[in-house]
Amino acid sequence: MVALRTFVTVARYCSMKRAGEILCISLGAVSQQIKGLEERLGRRLFQRSAQGIQLTSSGQTMYEHLAAAIGSIEDLWSVALGESARHARLVIGMPTSIALSWLIPRLNDLHDKWPGIEISIAARSTAFESKDSQVDVAVVDGPVDDVAYRATPLFYCDLIPVCSPSLLASGPEIHAPRDCLAYPLLHDRYRQAWKRWLNENGCSSPHVADGTSYYDEALLIRAACAGQGIALVSEVLVAGELSTGKLVQVIKTASPTRIGYHVVVANERANEWAIDAFCGWVVEQAADPFGRVPALDAVNTP
């Protein structure tokens, strides 16, 4: 049973190291379990290469038959021991900006409600990647089209232009969206947000994509706080900075440019108790996305 559980965990993540972390055993112990299982079965379950490990055809067949059964046994065992005995570790993949500004300030509530769930946050500056086997649950900004994954909406928020009060005081007044062009514009890695936002507000410029870009919105927010220009960011990410006066919204105008955040999990794992608990909790938190959000500096400062 131990070897089978080890096999299922390695197969799920395509990583012996990750399996060892989850099962709280050494990498050497994981390797020995898999080696012993292969010897008893008389066939290879994994292909090993410089890129890592992958299931062989025999391994894939075995995983498909075992995964659900092992999960059911673990659930029954947890029920027999009682809810207080449940323990799990989850890796949550998400952009640094949403982790710092939205999730981390709320984690105490998760720890209180689910003390048996340990969280590791894996910062991701790229879009959702279905092949990221190191992540159990993802929180993403944008749609997910992979049918193998369940994406549950959390909340939607507007993109708003923000800058430091000192920068706004030192330059021309902003009465309309086109007035933002008088200031340096700060961009995300795609350099498309300002172009879309200005077009939606009836203005544009051939130089709108010029200026400094940042691969993570957390850095973009930092740059805006430092007075380097105007940033166009999700309003939920700067709620703390706006409330403390570190940033100001330079103009309030209706815009159809909205960002949708989702919690994403593989369909085959959606019913695992820890994943189901975390997803339910994060959806509850999303009912009040702007509540209890400190400024970014407050999260980072001891």
Please report, for residues 35, 100, 117, 155, 281, the alpha-carbon distance to residue 284 in angstroms, rounded to integers and kept in the order given: 43, 18, 17, 11, 5
Q: At what angle do helices 2-13 and 57-81 cross, to 10 degrees?
A: 120
pTM equals 0.67
The pLDDT score that the predictor gives to residue 129 is 64
The pLDDT score that the predictor gives to residue 128 is 63
Task: Please say whether the beta carbons of 238 and 118 come within 8 A.
Answer: no
> What are the structural domains, with CATH classification, of the chain?
2-84 (1.10.10.10), 87-154+259-300 (3.40.190.10), 157-258 (3.40.190.10)
The pLDDT score that the predictor gives to residue 279 is 93
- For every one of its 302 residues, what pLDDT tens digit does the chain have, with 9 covering 90 and above? 678 888 888 888 888 888 887 777 888 888 888 999 989 899 899 988 777 788 999 988 888 888 777 766 666 655 555 554 568 889 999 988 899 889 999 999 999 989 889 999 988 765 566 666 688 999 988 778 888 899 999 988 889 999 999 999 999 999 999 999 999 999 998 899 999 999 988 888 888 999 999 988 899 999 999 999 999 999 999 988 999 999 999 999 866 667 889 999 988 888 888 999 999 999 999 988 776 444 444 444 33
The pLDDT score that the predictor gives to residue 183 is 97
> What's the token pair of residue 74?
């673990």
d(C-alpha 140, C-alpha 128), whole Å: 6
* Of the candidates 281, 274, 278, 263, the residue with the CA atom closest to the CA atom of residue 22: 274
d(C-alpha 261, C-alpha 271), whole Å: 21
The pLDDT score that the predictor gives to residue 80 is 54
Q: For residue 155, what are the β-bridge partners?
A: 261
The pLDDT score that the predictor gives to residue 287 is 85
Across 112-128, b (16+ Cβ under 10 Å) vs e yields: eebebbebebeebeeeb
The pLDDT score that the predictor gives to residue 180 is 96
